[in-house]
Structure 1
Amino acid sequence: MHKYLLFDLDGTLTDSKEGITNSIVHSLTQMNITVPDNNALVHFIGPPLKESFRTDYHLEGEQNEQAIAFYREYFSTRGLFENEVYSDIPELLSDLKNAGYKLYVATSKPVTFARQILDHFELTDYFEMIAGSELDGSRSHKADVIQYVIEENHLSPADCLMIGDRKHDLIGADMNGMDALGVLFGYGSREELASYPHIALISTVHSLRQFLLTA
């Protein structure tokens, strides 16, 4: 049985599409890059920004850093609150905690933003630890964040389950020797998640609750 549950943030606990894509639009506009429709930027949700700016717009070095700075300029004041908690997530977290699970957040988002978001939505107290990347770009890969949670809390990977909506969550869990569960109400498709190690793919928060509390 998994005693420790690690949750991704964007696309797993909250629907952050509006804030993240608006922040990307702001960044691209400031960089004088043609801006696509917000819906065409959803794939930015999950992976490290540095990688996405490099892959999509070939931004390297100082240009990449500047694009991230413009992103944060918008996100830190507006974007992080253009966000909403998925329905029934607070109840799920409460029930899991009451059932004896220890809960953690493992996100590639800078931890300072993750804390602000979780504080804003009054979710912080459900979690033993909120782990993420640093503003200097360190610990931005999901595998590194998961490893940090394990080491800081002296957890056994065999007792842990990573819950997330993108392939990075499943890959990061596998690299750390733990099971992973993919959720389909976020931003990763079934086709994406099915290609990586997982114990289940879950379509709704209600089904996630049933899986975790009746397994």
Structure 2
Amino acid sequence: MTAPASAPGDLAEIPVVLLDLDGTIVDSGPGILDALARAFADCGEPLPPQSLLRTFLGPPLEDSFRDVLGLSEDRSEQLRRTYIEHYRASGIHSAALYPGIADLVEALTAAGRTVAVATNKLETTARRLLGQQGLADRFALIGGTDRTVGRTDKTAVIGSVLERLDVPAAGAASEGPGTGAGTDAAADVAPTARAVMVGDRLHDAEGAAAHGLPAVLVGWGYGGAPERAAALPFAESVDELAGMLLR
């Protein structure tokens, strides 16, 4: 669903833009899927179909291992650790920037906006990946998960990024993304919103909603029918996203 006409102007007024990484800034799917296949093989677990594995792209992997595959906490953690080893060794090198993203980040910065990354990828890995892409210094902050401090999901990552940027959130939303407001959800962008989250999966919008922030979903990443059915601003292309965020 595309955003109502009133959404672009509202979103263009918000000073801070948070971007998801996997499926929004970079196409990291091939490297992630390869590392997952290697992890399943090493751990002696049957490899799920590719169609199911693709739904693991974005949300915390241990949640998918546990909630989708029904694995125990210990087994899920073993798979997660093994995956990380393979991804850091090889998968990270296959990520490719989506066309137009670097130009969009540059245009937002030139317009005086603060642009930061909020990803479920480990923060150290996210910094390394964006460094390899030559984009690390384009962002005010690269924020990701860090299990040593209990930052393990998108809600916690967004909260950490807002805190480190000294950006006040609008407060917790009373309803989840795309609920209760029908197709007018995009027009409900609070005039006091200080940041907007851009991502390809519903958990990006859910994390934003937990902090009272609006969200935009994009169509070039790893989302599917649930993302397209949500009553949220939706950008099919980077150019369409730029039209929403910039005047």
Q: Give the TM-score, by structure 1 length.
A: 0.93
Query: 2:118 touches 2:142 (CA, 8 Å); kept in 1?
Result: yes
Higher relative contact order at CA 8 Å, sep ≥6: structure 1 or structure 2?
2
Q: Which residue of 2 aligns with 1:69?
A: 81
| Secondary structure of the corresponding residue to residue 144 of structure 2 | strand
After TM superposition, list the pairs within 5 Å mapping 1:12-31 onto structure 2: 12-31=24-43
Query: What amino acid is aligned across from residue 68 of structure 2 in structure 1?
Result: D
Match of 1:170 in 2: 205
Percent identity among equivalent residues? Answer: 34
Match of 1:123 in 2: 135
Higher alpha-carbon Rg: 2
Q: CA deviation at 1:155?
A: 0.6
Residue 39 of structure 1, CA deviation: 4.0
- Listed as ranges, the gaps of 5+ residues in structure 1 are none
Q: For residues 70-85 of structure 1, what are the structure 2 equivalents within 5 Å?
A: 70-85=82-97
The correspondence for 2:162, drawn from 137, 146, 150, is 150
Q: Is the 8 A contact 2:66 2:73 kept in 1?
A: no
The corresponding residue for 1:192 is 227
Match status 1:206 vs 2:239: yes
The answer to whether the Cα contact below 8 Å between 1:25 and 1:38 also exists between their aligned partners in 2 is no
Write the deviation string for residues 49-100 of structure 1: whole angstroms up to 9, x where unpaired: 1101112332223222211111012101101112100011111111111111
1:91 aligns with 2:126: no
| Aligned partner (choices 101, 112, 115) of residue 100 of structure 1 | 112
The SS at the match of 1:76 is helix
Q: For 2:149 and 2:67, how far apart are their aligned partners in 1?
A: 17
1:193–1:149: structure 2 CA closer, same or farther, 3 Å change rule? Answer: farther
- 8 Å contact kept, 1:167–1:193: no
Q: Which runs of 5+ in 2 are unaligned?
A: 1-12, 170-192
Q: How high is the TM-score relative to the length of structure 2? A: 0.81
The root-mean-square deviation of aligned C-alpha atoms, in Å, is 1.5
